[in-house]
Amino acid sequence: MKKILLLFVFTLTTGVFLAQEQPFYATMDANDAVELQKELPEDIQIIATKRNQSAVFISEKAAHAMHQNVVTHGPGYVFKASEEKALRAIEPKKPKTERRVLNFTIDQDDAVAEALDLVNAQNIEDQILELQGYGTRYHTRASAEQSVLDLKDKWEAMAQAAGRNDVSVRIVNHVNTPMPSAVMTIEGAESPDEYVIIGGHIDSTAPGANNDVAPGADDDASGISTITEVVRVLFETDFVPNRTVEFMAFAAEEIGLVGSAEIAEEYSNNNINVLAYVQFDMTNYPGSANDVYITTDSYNSNDLNAYLIELMEYYNNVSSEHEITYGTTACNYGCSDHFSWADNGYEAAFPFEANFSESNPNIHTAGDTYDVTGDAFKAAKFAKLGLEFIIETAKTNNLSVSELSNDNLDFIVANNTLTYSLKNSSDVLEQMAVIDVSGKQVLRATDLGKQGTVSLDRLSQGFYVAVFTTETNKKLTKKFIVN
């Protein structure tokens, strides 16, 4: 297949973008590239392969073949504007942060408790139906741009109604799609140069002529609606973060993560200190037994995955009225916008609605409508996880903590031994469970008392979460590494 020098046509006076009507450059999993080439040899050229990634020159036909693989999720490839950018993307990258996620703590019990009680599934349902009502949010359609502008207006109205002068909402225009993205920023009161971000994509797709009917209720109106409920609750509780918090609604995820890739690259080029990024893409289809599935692909952050598990073990355990059950899954290469942040060296995670083999079979079709799920109860659980993540990572100064906080537990790991000591409490520790980043319990100890040691000889190298339970059923969690 000959390379076509003119990949995309821009009409400068009108800004019209003819998306992927010509072959284009991209990156994808090397094995997927080989298999796709076997199936469609005239429609994909593998330019180079490094670190299990391939830079490719691919046709629209081959892109749709990847996109329709529901188990892979998302496009399965990442759009690149040139051969040079595709080749550069498969080179190793240095991390942008120095494992700051491991320093995240859990001590905002009162603030989190107040926020969780305010989550309203009806608000999420209303927002999903509103986004579904555009008919299609395919990135070249006028309705896609309008959905972003309307979301910006809604977010601004929410901030204004809450009397917030520390909040701004901006539109981000893109080079490789006519559809813009929307970004809400809550400026940090003490450390404004440190960022924590939750994002999702607002575009939808149903490849072929059906892109005129692409409701995208689950993929990804559910994620954007969940994020909007997180914002609403934060405003209702007058949450003022110490770190800067951002919420993002990305354009053109469905054609190769275009919007998020441009924004993440801009942040990286400007050395923006993003401590953690979490993606909400599909939050409402109850396809599997558990509520949340943490994705464990190689580019995801083990540190951040461990922290999300720590949050759920602490705030959403089986004895909590806000219980969230969780498991793990894998979504493969470039499956959603968190890949853009990981690809630029940031810590990124992607909690998903189901095991990918059991995820919503209606996505990328005209049948991705809200009535498939029937309620927003599941998405409300993602909103609770999002609130926990934001409140605990961004922090605030004017909050009290529970009677028994993590600060009451001295905890040291050295020489394959865990040493613990419970301070300032009449309670005692009844048991401890150690959980790995796949969510599996790998060690359990009982009758711990107030202090003691536990051997870690059975554990391999990696990241873990220790969950201590007291006799009065309080939870204390600690992250640690076995070297």
Burial class (CB in 10 A: 0-12, 13-18, 19+), 64: middle
| Catalytic member of 201, 338, 343, 388 | 201
Whether 250 and 259 have beta carbons less than 8 Å apart is answered as yes
What is the percentage of the chain residues whose pLDDT exceeds 70? 91
> How many independent structural domains does the chain possess?
3
Query: Could you tell me how many helices (H) and strands (E) the chain has, helices first?
Result: 11, 22
Task: Give the HSE-up count for residue 282: Cα atoms under 13 Å, Cβ half-sphere.
Answer: 34
For residues 258 and 388, state if they share a domain.
yes
Which tokens in the block code for residue 426?
A: 């009449």
Q: The domain that contains 292 carries what CATH number?
A: 3.40.630.10
Based on the residue annotation, tell me whether 254 is a catalytic residue of this protein.
Answer: yes
Last residue of a domain, one of 44, 68, 89: 89
| Catalytic member of 281, 310, 343, 436 | 281
For residues 390 and 431, state if they share a domain.
no
Last residue of a domain, one of 59, 89, 119: 89
For residues 49 and 118, state if they share a domain.
no
Phi first, then psi: give them for residue 359, nearest 5 degrees: -75, 175
Q: The domain that contains 468 carries what CATH number?
A: 2.60.40.3080
Tens-place pLDDT, residues 149-207: 999 999 999 999 999 999 999 999 999 999 999 999 999 999 999 999 999 999 999 97
Q: Following DSSP, what letter does each residue of 353-391 receive, concatenated?
A: SS-GGGS-TTTTSTT--GGGT-SSHHHHHHHHHHHHHHH
Flag whether pLDDT at 279 surpasses 70.
Answer: yes
Handedness of CA 194, 252, 279, 241 (dihedral sign): positive
Tens-place pLDDT, residues 86-127: 999 998 877 776 767 778 889 899 999 999 999 999 999 999
Based on the residue annotation, tell me whether 153 is a catalytic residue of this protein.
Answer: no
Evaluate whether residue 4 is within a structural domain: no
Contacts 24+ apart (CB under 8 A), 107-111: 107/392, 107/401, 107/405, 107/406, 107/407, 108/391, 108/392, 108/395, 108/396, 108/399, 108/401, 109/401, 109/402, 109/405, 110/399, 110/400, 110/401, 110/402, 111/237, 111/239, 111/391, 111/396, 111/399
User: How many other CB atoms are there within 10 angstroms of residue 413's CB atom?
Assistant: 20
For residues 146 and 42, state if they share a domain.
no
Q: Distance (Å, rounded) from C-alpha 259 to C-alpha 279? A: 14
Judged by average pLDDT, the poorest of 90-94, 144-148, 272-276 is 90-94
Bridge partners of 55?
Answer: 27, 48
Q: What is the pLDDT of residue 398?
A: 47
| Catalytic member of 43, 114, 194, 254 | 254
Burial class (CB in 10 A: 0-12, 13-18, 19+), 47: middle
Whether 385 and 350 have beta carbons less than 8 Å apart is answered as no
Based on the residue annotation, tell me whether 73 is a catalytic residue of this protein.
Answer: no
Q: What is the pLDDT of residue 67?
A: 67
Domain that holds residue 26: 10-89
For residues 370 and 428, state if they share a domain.
no
| Catalytic member of 174, 364, 368, 388 | 364
Whether 85 and 126 have beta carbons less than 8 Å apart is answered as no
Evaluate whether residue 195 is within a structural domain: yes
For residues 68 and 163, state if they share a domain.
no
For residues 253 and 389, state if they share a domain.
yes
pTM score of the predicted model = 0.88
Evaluate whether residue 159 is within a structural domain: yes
Strand order, beta sheet including 24-29: 44-50, 53-58, 24-29, 77-80
What is the percentage of the chain residues whose pLDDT exceeds 90? 67
Based on the residue annotation, tell me whether 253 is a catalytic residue of this protein.
Answer: yes
| Catalytic member of 29, 109, 219, 347 | 219
Q: The domain that contains 78 carries what CATH number?
A: 3.30.70
Q: What DSSP character marks residue 134?
A: T
Tell how strand 451-455 and strand 10-11 pair up: unpaired
Based on the residue annotation, tell me whether 201 is a catalytic residue of this protein.
Answer: yes
Evaluate whether residue 1 is within a structural domain: no
Evaluate whether residue 400 is within a structural domain: no
In the numeric block, the tokens 């903590």 are attached to 401
For residues 255 and 387, state if they share a domain.
yes
Last residue of a domain, one of 23, 57, 89: 89
Beta strands in 280-423 (DSSP E): 292-295, 326-329, 348-349, 351-352, 409-414, 417-422
Based on the residue annotation, tell me whether 219 is a catalytic residue of this protein.
Answer: yes
